Amino acid sequence: MPDKKLARRLKRSYDAVAARRLNKGIPPCNPKRKSWRPEDDRVLGTRPDDQIALLLRRTVASIKNRRRKLGICSKRARLSHPWTKNEDQLLGTRPDPELAHKFGRGLQSIRSRRRKLGVQAAPLDKAWTPRESKLLGTMPDKNLARLIGRGIATVRFHRLKLGLPPCNPIWKPWKEKDLALLGKFTDAKVAAHTGHPAGSVKMQRCKLGIPCCDSKRRPWLPEEDALLGKFSDQEVSRQTQRTFAAVRTRRIARGLAEPTARK
C-alpha cells in the first residue's frame, strides 16, 4: 500500500516509512498508476494526443511521454513534417531507431519511407570499437551519442552492459570522509559541510541503514523495554519520562499488546 496509508496504519511518520522502504530496496506503491498494454501502445500516434488521452483515460502528459519514449511522432507532427533530401540520403546509413530519434519521427515512419525508396536497413548490432568503449562513462550519454553517431538508448544500454556508472557533472560522488559524518550530525549540517543536497544526504544515510542524528532523542534502555507490555502505556510513560506516543510506538514496533487491552 502507499507510504502515506501505511504510515497512518502503523502509527509512524511518513518519512520513517519511506526511509524504511528505501533501506529495504522496495519500490513505492502507486495504485493510481495504470500499466501500459500493447494495445494501448498501438494507438499512439494514430490520433492527436488529446484525443488518445480521452480514449485511454490518461493525461495528455502521460500520452506524450509514452509516445516520445517509444519514438512515435504525434499525428499532427507526422502530417506537417515532409521528408527532406538530406533525410532520404541518410536512410540505411544508420539503424532505424537512431534515425527516428535524430529526425524526430516515428520508427514506423522511418521503415515505411526506407522501403518506399528501396533502401536496405542498416544492421542494429553495429560493433563497438575500443575507442568508443573507452569513452563510455567519461561524458553524459547524450553527448557521447552525438559524438559517435549512436542513439542515446544504445549508448546507455552498452554502458550498463559493461557495468560503468553514468557521468553526471551535477552529481557529486560521496567520499569516505563525507560518509563518516552520516548519523553523527543532522542531515542539514552534513549537507552544509559536504556540499551535498539535504535530500541526497538523507537518501544516502537511509541506503546505508544509518539512523538519523537527533539530539533530543534518547535511546531506549533494556530496563525501559522490559516495562513495555507489563504496564499500561501511560504508566510506562510516567516511569520513563517519555511521551505517551513514543511509548505506544515503541510497544507496537516490538509487537507487544497493552495490558489494559488484554481480555
The string of pLDDT tens digits covering residues 140-163 is 888 888 888 787 878 888 888 888
Q: With beta carbons less than 8 A apart as the criterion, state whether 73 and 100 touch.
A: no
Specify the pLDDT at position 40. Answer: 86
Specify the pLDDT at position 226. Answer: 92
Residues β-bridged to residue 182: 185
Q: With beta carbons less than 8 A apart as the criterion, state whether 45 and 70 touch.
A: no
In percent, the amount of the chain with pLDDT more than 70 equals: 89
- pLDDT higher than 80, residue 81: no
- pLDDT higher than 70, residue 79: no
Specify the pLDDT at position 82. Answer: 83
Q: Residue range 124-139: average pLDDT?
A: 83
Residues with Cβ within 8 Å of 88's Cβ and at least 6 positions away in sequence, in order, are 113, 117
In percent, the amount of the chain with pLDDT more than 90 equals: 3
Interval 184-239: pLDDT, tens: 888 888 888 888 888 888 888 877 777 777 656 677 888 988 999 899 988 999 99
Among 27-31, 176-180, 195-199, 254-258, the range with the most confident prediction by mean pLDDT is: 176-180
- pLDDT higher than 70, residue 136: yes
- pLDDT higher than 50, residue 84: yes
DSSP state of 241: T
Interval 162-182: pLDDT, tens: 888 887 766 677 888 888 888
**Long-range contacts of 179-187, Cβ-Cβ distance < 8 Å, separation of 24 or more:** 179/204, 179/208, 182/208, 182/210, 183/210, 183/211, 183/212, 183/213, 184/213, 185/213, 186/212, 186/213, 186/214, 187/212, 187/213
Q: With beta carbons less than 8 A apart as the criterion, state whether 187 and 201 touch.
A: yes
Q: With beta carbons less than 8 A apart as the criterion, state whether 208 and 194 touch.
A: no
Q: pTM above the 0.75 mark?
A: no
Residues with Cβ within 8 Å of 159's Cβ and at least 6 positions away in sequence, in order, are 136, 137, 141, 166
Specify the pLDDT at position 80. Answer: 53
Lowest-confidence range among 3-17, 40-54, 81-95, 228-242? 3-17
Specify the pLDDT at position 216. Answer: 62
The overall average pLDDT reported for the chain is 81
DSSP string, 53-113: HHHHT--HHHHHHHHHHTT---HHHHHT-PPPHHHHHHBTTB-HHHHHHHHT--HHHHHHH
Q: With beta carbons less than 8 A apart as the criterion, state whether 133 and 127 touch.
A: no
- What's the grid cell of residue 7? 504510515
